[in-house]
Amino acid sequence: MNTAIEKARAIITGYRGPKIRIMEVCGTHTHEIFRLGIRSLLPENVELISGPGCPVCVTPVSYIDEAIFLAEERHATICTFGDLVRVPGTAGSLAEARSRGARIQVVYTPLDAVTYAEEHPREEVVFLSVGFETTTPSACLALKRAEAQDIANFSLLTANKTMPAAYEAMASHTDAYLYPGHVCAITGTSLPESLTQQGISGAVAGFTASELLTALAVILEKSRSGEPFFVNAYPRVVRPAGNPAARALVETYMEPCDAIWRGLGTLKASGLKIRSAFAPRDARVRFSLPSMSGRENPACHCGAILQGLERPVDCPLYGRACTPDHPIGACMVSREGACSAYYLYGGLGRNFA
Amino acid sequence: MTTDDMHSDRDACITLAHGAGGRQTAALIARVFARHFQNPDFTADDAAILPVGSFAAGRAAFTTDGFIVSPWQFPGGNIGKLSICGTVNDLACMGAVPRYLSCAFQIEEGFPLQDLEAIAAAMAKTAKTAGVRIVAGDTKVAGRGQVDKVFITTTGIGECMEGAHPSGSRAEAGDAIIVTGDIGRHGAAILVARRDFAIDAAITSDCAPLAAAVKAMFDAIPDRAAIHTIRDATRGGVGTVLHEIAAESQVGIELNTPAIPVAPEVRGVCGLLGLEPLYLACEGRLVIFAPQAIAPTLVEVLRTLPDSRQAAVIGRVTPDFSGRVVLNTEIGTKPLLPEPSGELLPRIC
């Protein structure tokens, strides 16, 4: 064990201060925290909450319904990240639509979807654009390429989201945020810094064992004073100004809009949609998509889990009807989802040993 | 087409006639398979006759395996080499010395003859390395689109070594767990070769026959029964094997995470795609369970052989947490290794 890890570990295991809730809002953090068994180090008075940090998990049911409608009623080819294929919509998932004959292509990057469109000029290709500040620039890069090369049969179904509104919406559920390192690398640190004025504390964390433990230790140390604080505990990657080039790219093609978050409802100006100048690239416009309301499985507690109000094990479906092999809620589908992480690393009980 | 012009024509392809059982089939077998697989037991009759009465222990191991890997060739091997390694290694895992193989080909119409030659040549070479004879075979040709290029099924018979009884249910508390080399190479090599992900990495498959390594281990210890379990980590990788053994032997498994050999380039691909190296397929890696006392001897013997130079002890069997696999991490925690779920890559072997 290296000294940085040892030092951070000692601070965490030795914490005897008042009860504190820390919320991670990044799916990769959720996954790494489980994979490394970090929860087993926490004393009783430190609670780690998995917040709305997995883009697949916060995507509303209606979005899946829209994608299935495009595939089955408009005969579009859907290009998507693999996780979304298994997320249940109101009546089934994209995987089920595929088995009925819909064209669903799994891609690794949005640019692969543009390439697919280029190679299949007779198909209408729609990329399912989900994700936070980290992934949105690559979707815009795809748009840029489609524009530059005049690939007319390519459009996006957007459900891109931005974190600021979620930080504010969730503020009463947590005492401090473990801010997402990759998101902050794009946005910079001015927002979390300014949130301290509203009493919202937190530290930016990286993704290695040492970086995660250090950020948690920093939060526990800083919280002793009782004053709101912000610490960039991932300075190796996160600069105060973020990545202005990536933000400019997004601003060229997209503008803020209200967005529905699974579990959180509609948050003002928390999403991104395609600017009207590029309307033909917006699948909702291009295919005159009717508005869809979407209905979640009423027994699924994903909503409460995403807000940190419940733990996955509190959901009656968890581990019984809903497992990674047969997911009912989105949080069990993505490997970054809280339910999936709980289940894979902890089984039915507490995170082991 | 005669045998000669078939050989001379570099653009020659497999046609449905090659699978019709007539003259062209005979020509194909003579030109490609009989020529490469040549050995005294290779039969032109309906079945090979084998002298199994000479098997000293009076026991034979018998197994079969199908191969549908895509792409059919990849850095470090091709489907032919793979089809020999897979069955040879399955036999070796049971403490048997592989003796005889049969192979059945399903070939897509239009498959280039010279590619089939390359596959047969790789099979012959690998069989020779493994000390096994290909004695019987079958060739079918399917119409375009009915088979993806070429599928191969191999079946093998091995001679059980006297006193060797490795089994998935014999792992015991106190056993050391050995892997014969760095893990996940085959899965990573196929991932990169498939070009589904825009990743460039120089990764070669670990595909290799390990019969010699297994025999060397058994020959190095006084009591062959002391090697409790050997398993070939193919689809699902080493992690899946560990879960299987934990369940079959009803024991707990504790891994020493930093001791698990993973090549930097494999770790890099895993980092990019969010994969766990323990769940990437191998095609030339065994997981061995044997008492701590003989583990150093086994590792030492393995390290003298070309395909197991990086053999290492990666963990131990404990009486605690039966049926589970626990990781000892670099931060002093003991999280569970999650059980593999349905997201493994298809068409890997």
- At A287-298, the pLDDT tens digits run 999 999 888 888
Q: Quick check: A325 and A335 in contact, CB under 8 A?
A: no
- At A92-151, the pLDDT tens digits run 899 999 999 999 999 888 999 999 999 999 999 999 999 999 999 999 999 999 999 999
Across the interface, do B329 and A209 touch by the CB < 8 Å criterion? yes
Start-to-end Cα distance in chain B: 33
> How much is the pLDDT for B88?
98
Asked if A344 reaches chain B (Cβ–Cβ under 8 Å), the answer is: yes
- Residue B279: inside a domain: yes
* B155 and B185 part of one domain: no
Quick one: A78 exposed, middle or buried, by C-beta within 10 A (0-12, 13-18, 19+)?
Answer: buried
Quick one: B174 exposed, middle or buried, by C-beta within 10 A (0-12, 13-18, 19+)?
Answer: middle
Mean pLDDT of A157-173: 92
Tell me which of B160, B192, B212 is where a domain ends.
B160
A&B contacts, CB < 8 Å: 68
- Residue B61: inside a domain: yes
Q: Quick check: A293 and A300 in contact, CB under 8 A?
A: no
* B148 and B185 part of one domain: no
With contacts defined as CB-CB under 8 Å, which chain A residues touch B327?
37
- The rounded radius of gyration (Å) of the Cα atoms in chain B is 21
Nearest residue of B to residue A35, measured between CA atoms: B335
* B320 and B196 part of one domain: yes
- Residue B126: inside a domain: yes
B260: domain CATH number? Answer: 3.90.650.10
Across the interface, do B196 and A108 touch by the CB < 8 Å criterion? yes
Alpha-helical runs (H) found in A188-238? 190-195, 209-223
Q: Name which of A241-245, A262-266, B106-110 the model is least confident about.
A: A262-266
Q: How far is CA A121 from CA A72, A118, A129, A152, B168, in A?
A: 19, 6, 20, 8, 53
Q: Which two tokens stand for residue A177?
A: 């945020």
Q: What is the ipTM of this complex?
A: 0.72
Q: Which two tokens stand for residue B339?
A: 């059980």
- Residue B339: inside a domain: no
- What average pLDDT is seen over chain A? 92
- At B23-65, the pLDDT tens digits run 899 999 999 999 999 998 998 888 999 988 888 888 999 999 9
Residue in the structure block whose two tokens are 């000294």: A3
- At A52-75, the pLDDT tens digits run 888 888 999 999 999 999 999 999
Across the interface, do B335 and A353 touch by the CB < 8 Å criterion? yes
pTM of the model: 0.81
Q: Quick check: A23 and A264 in contact, CB under 8 A?
A: no
* B155 and B10 part of one domain: yes
CA distance B238 to B124: 28
> How much is the pLDDT for A349?
44
- At B157-196, the pLDDT tens digits run 999 999 999 999 999 999 999 999 999 999 999 988 987 7
Residue type, A265: G
pLDDT above 70 covers a percentage of chain A that reads 98
Across the interface, do A346 and B336 touch by the CB < 8 Å criterion? yes
Q: Which domains does chain A have, with CATH numbers?
A: 3-48+164-232 (3.40.50.11750), 56-163+242-286 (3.40.50.11740), 302-345 (no CATH)
Closest-CA distance of chain B to residue A325, Å? 7
- At B291-319, the pLDDT tens digits run 999 999 999 999 999 999 999 999 999 99
For B240, which DSSP code?
H
* B186 and B279 part of one domain: yes
CB atoms within 10 A of CB A353: 16
- At B211-234, the pLDDT tens digits run 999 999 999 999 999 999 999 999
Residues 6+ apart with CB under 8 A from A208: none
Q: Quick check: A315 and A301 in contact, CB under 8 A?
A: yes
* B298 and B259 part of one domain: yes
- A352 band by pLDDT with thresholds 50, 70 and 90: very low
* B181 and B49 part of one domain: no
Whose CA is closest to A158, among A292, A44, A63?
Answer: A63
Residue type, B313: V
Across the interface, do B336 and A40 touch by the CB < 8 Å criterion? no
Query: Which of A13, A93, A106, A108 to mutate to test binding with chain B, by most B CBs within 10 Å of its CB?
Result: A108
CA distance B144 to B129: 34
Of the candidates A36, A324, A351, which has its C-beta nearest B331's C-beta? A36
Across the interface, do B333 and A109 touch by the CB < 8 Å criterion? no
* B122 and B227 part of one domain: no
Asked if A170 reaches chain B (Cβ–Cβ under 8 Å), the answer is: no
Instruction: Annotate B230-249 with b (16+ C-beta within 10 A) or e (fewer).
Output: bbbbbbbbbbbbbbbbbbbb
Of the candidates B329, B332, B341, which has its C-beta nearest A325's C-beta? B341
Mean pLDDT of A35-58: 90
Residue in the structure block whose two tokens are 């507490």: A350
What are residue A244's phi and psi, to 5 degrees?
A: -60, -30
Asked if A109 reaches chain B (Cβ–Cβ under 8 Å), the answer is: yes
CA distance B227 to B346: 32
Q: B59-62 long-range CB contacts below 8 Å, 24 or more apart?
A: B59/B160, B60/B96, B60/B157, B60/B158, B60/B159, B60/B160, B61/B91, B61/B94, B61/B95, B61/B96, B61/B156, B61/B157, B61/B158, B61/B159, B61/B160, B62/B155, B62/B156, B62/B157, B62/B158
Nearest residue of A to residue B324, measured between CA atoms: A352
- Residue B156: inside a domain: yes
B70: domain CATH number? Answer: 3.30.1330.10
Asked if A105 reaches chain B (Cβ–Cβ under 8 Å), the answer is: no
Across the interface, do A352 and B333 touch by the CB < 8 Å criterion? no
> How much is the pLDDT for B4?
46
> How much is the pLDDT for B344?
55
* B226 and B108 part of one domain: no
Across the interface, do A9 and B329 touch by the CB < 8 Å criterion? no
pLDDT above 70 covers a percentage of chain B that reads 95
Nearest residue of A to residue B337, measured between CA atoms: A345
Across the interface, do B335 and A37 touch by the CB < 8 Å criterion? yes
Nearest residue of B to residue A106, measured between CA atoms: B196
Instruction: Annotate A86-117 with b (16+ C-beta within 10 A) or e (fewer).
Output: bbbbeeebbeebbeeebbbbbbebbbbbbbbb
Q: What stretch of H or E contains A144?
A: helix A136-148
Count of domains forming chain B: 2
Q: Quick check: A294 and A90 in contact, CB under 8 A?
A: yes
Asked if A327 reaches chain B (Cβ–Cβ under 8 Å), the answer is: no
With contacts defined as CB-CB under 8 Å, which chain A residues touch B274?
31, 335
* B14 and B148 part of one domain: yes
- Residue B123: inside a domain: yes
CA distance B91 to A175: 59
Across the interface, do A38 and B333 touch by the CB < 8 Å criterion? yes
* B38 and B85 part of one domain: yes
- What average pLDDT is seen over chain B? 92
Residue in the structure block whose two tokens are 């569970």: B336
Query: Which of B279, B333, B334, B341 to mutate to test binding with chain A, by most A CBs within 10 Å of its CB?
Result: B333
- Residue B338: inside a domain: no
Using DSSP's 3-state secondary structure scheme, residue A112 falls into helix
- The beta strand positions in chain A, using DSSP E, are 20-24, 46-50, 77-80, 104-106, 125-131, 154-161, 176-180, 201-205, 230-232, 254-261, 265-274
Give the domain range for residue B297. Answer: 175-328
* B259 and B191 part of one domain: yes
Q: Which two tokens stand for residue B312?
A: 């290492």
- The beta strand positions in B173-285, using DSSP E, are 175-179, 229-232, 252-256
Q: Sign of torsion, CA B210 B213 B219 B220?
A: negative
Tell me which of B97, B130, B160 is where a domain ends.
B160
- Residue B36: inside a domain: yes
- At A186-238, the pLDDT tens digits run 999 998 999 999 999 999 999 999 999 999 999 999 998 889 999 999 999 99
- The beta strand positions in B79-124, using DSSP E, are 96-108
CB atoms within 10 A of CB A34: 24
Asked if B327 reaches chain A (Cβ–Cβ under 8 Å), the answer is: yes
Closest-CA distance of chain B to residue A278, Å? 27
CA distance B343 to A83: 10
- A156 band by pLDDT with thresholds 50, 70 and 90: very high
Tell me which of B115, B130, B160 is where a domain ends.
B160
> How much is the pLDDT for A348?
43
Whose CA is closest to B122, among B159, B70, B86, B92?
Answer: B86
> How much is the pLDDT for B21?
85
